Structure 1
Amino acid sequence: MLTPTGEIVADARRRGVGAGAFNVITVEHAEAVVTGAEAAGCAVILQISENAVRFHHGRLGPIAAAARAVAELASVPVGLHLDHVESDELFDQAAGNGFGSAMYDASRLEYDANVAATAAAAGRGHACGLWVESELGEVGGKDGAHKPGVRTNPGEAAAFVEATGVDALAVAVGSSHAMTTRDARLDHELVRRLCAAVAVPLVLHGSSGVPDDELRTAVRGGLVKINIGTALNIAFTGAIRDAMRRNAELVDPRKYLLDARRDMAETVTRALQVISR
């Protein structure tokens, strides 16, 4: 059932568990995420990034409609989230396409400019009923490793949330985007300090590279929304490689996408069992 993201995150926070948010690139991703969540008996968040929209010729509508339809037919609560949006034009399309939330990402900007841009976006988003996430600090990965010097400062984070009015904050505590190995180590002391300083739920990006024990400790320490993307792509691509290895003559995509969707669903189930127990 389609459910506002804010409700899913608030419920997870009340129960002291994590809310899993998984990146959607194709309709198979959306179907896999929901299948995996149903198997785990957990609510889940489908998130479509600006990069994914760019992949779909810059058109949000078709992939959003597909994800929304999958969410509406689910037997568990499913949120729809527009992720890592740097474009004001794209951000302003979120509510009209059925999203309950959006992450406005001005983290590349200097602090004051980030505050101004994020506050303006949050105001517009709230006027449309969106739950708005933002980021402070620099979660590395796509353009370099995460460095301690750009981790989120608790005092600055509290001031940022107060100044912008956002509903959730993604923080830099040691994870990195696009990791294909699971050896990231989080700064759990920083997590505790951030949770004590910041009133809104905290979000961990780059969770695919974080081992299970680290994720459990992070959730116990107070992180709530746990974003996972690369792990799905590893499962997706690995299944297709295996299928092609077994039969190089395959031409019907259903033959290998079935395996890819199954393996992604199993990845989702395992991740949700880690963060929701």
Structure 2
Amino acid sequence: MFSPTGEIVADAQRRGVGVGAFNVITVEHAEAIVTGAEAAGVAVILQISENAVRFHDGRLAPIAAAARCVAELSSVPVGLHLDHVESDELFDQAAANGFGSAMYDASKRDYEGNVAATAAAAQRGHAQGLWIESELGEVGGKDGAHAPGVRTDPGEAAAYVAATGVDALAVAVGSSHAMTTRDARLDHALIEQLREATPVPLVLHGSSGVGDDDLRKAVAAGIVKINIGTALNIAFTGAIRRELAVQTSVDPRRYLRPARDEMAATVTRALRVVTLL
């Protein structure tokens, strides 16, 4: 069943657990994420990033419609989130394409520029009923390794949330995007300080690189929304490689089905960790 992202996150926060938010690139990703969530018996969030839209030749509507349809047919609550949006034009398409939330990403700008751009985006998004996430600090990985010097400052985070009016804040606490190993080390003391300093749910990006115990501790410390993308692609690609190594069929269903199944199993395992099952 389709559910607003804000309601899913608020429910998880009330119960003191996390909610998994997984990146969608193809319709098989969306199907796998929902199948995995149904197996775990918990809510989940489907995320489509600006990079994924770019992969689909800049067309948001087709992949958004497919993901929304998968969400509506689910037996568990499923949110639809437009993630890491730097383009104002794309951000302003979110509500019309069925999204309940969007992350406006101005984190590459200086603090003042981030605040100004994000506040304007949040105002537009709220007027259309969107739940708005943004980022303060720098979660590395795609543009370079994460460093302590760019981690989110609690005092600055409190001022930023007040100035922008966002509904959730992605924080830099030691994770990095696109990690294929799970050896990132989170700063749990900083997470606790950020939770105390800010009134909105905290979001962890780059969670594929974080081990299970560290993810559980992060949820206990105050992280609510946990973004996972690379782990699904590792499962997807690994399954396809194994299938193509032993078969000669040209039917893509022969390798896409096991790839989808592997992603679903990955989602179920991750959700059991972050929801403390």
Range class of TM-score, shorter chain: over 0.9
Indicate yes or no: 2:228 matched with 1:234.
no
Taking only aligned residues, the RMSD between alpha carbons, in angstroms, comes to 0.3
Residue 188 of structure 1 is matched in structure 2 by 188
Q: Determine the C-alpha separation between the residues in 1 that align with 2:158 and 2:176.
A: 22
Q: Determine the C-alpha separation between the residues in 1 that align with 2:249 and 2:12.
A: 43
Residue 159 of structure 1 is matched in structure 2 by 159
Q: Determine the C-alpha separation between the residues in 1 that align with 2:189 and 2:71.
A: 36
Residue 70 of structure 2 is matched in structure 1 by 70
Runs of 4+ aligned residues of structure 1 deviating over 4 Å after TM superposition are none
Residue 252 of structure 2 is matched in structure 1 by 253
Shift of 1:143: 1.4
Q: Determine the C-alpha separation between the residues in 2 that align with 1:13 and 1:156.
A: 22
Gaps of 5+ in 2: none
Indicate yes or no: 2:267 matched with 1:273.
no
Shift of 1:152: 0.2
**Across the two proteins, how many residue pairs are aligned to each other?**
276
**Counterpart residue identity of residue 224, structure 2:** V
Shift of 1:246: 1.2
**Counterpart residue identity of residue 254, structure 2:** K
Structure 2 residue matching 1:236: 3-state secondary structure? helix
Structure 2 residue matching 1:116: 3-state secondary structure? helix
Q: Determine the C-alpha separation between the residues in 2 that align with 1:166 and 1:250.
A: 50
Q: Determine the C-alpha separation between the residues in 1 that align with 2:120 and 2:42.
A: 33
Shift of 1:164: 0.1
Q: Give a deviation string over 1:163-186, Cα, whole Å, max 9, x none.
A: 000000000000000000000000
- Normalised by the size of structure 1, how large is the TM-score? 0.99
Structure 2 residue matching 1:262: 3-state secondary structure? helix
Residue 41 of structure 2 is matched in structure 1 by 41
Shift of 1:79: 0.1
Residue 3 of structure 1 is matched in structure 2 by 3
Q: How does 1:1-277 map to 2 (within 5 A)?
A: 1-247=1-247, 249-277=248-276
Shift of 1:250: 2.3
**Counterpart residue identity of residue 257, structure 2:** L
Shift of 1:66: 0.2
Structure 2 residue matching 1:181: 3-state secondary structure? coil
Question: What percentage of aligned pairs have identical amino acids?
Answer: 80
Q: Determine the C-alpha separation between the residues in 2 that align with 1:131 and 1:145.
A: 29
Q: Determine the C-alpha separation between the residues in 2 that align with 1:81 and 1:216.
A: 23
Structure 2 residue matching 1:156: 3-state secondary structure? helix
Q: Determine the C-alpha separation between the residues in 2 that align with 1:130 and 1:167.
A: 9
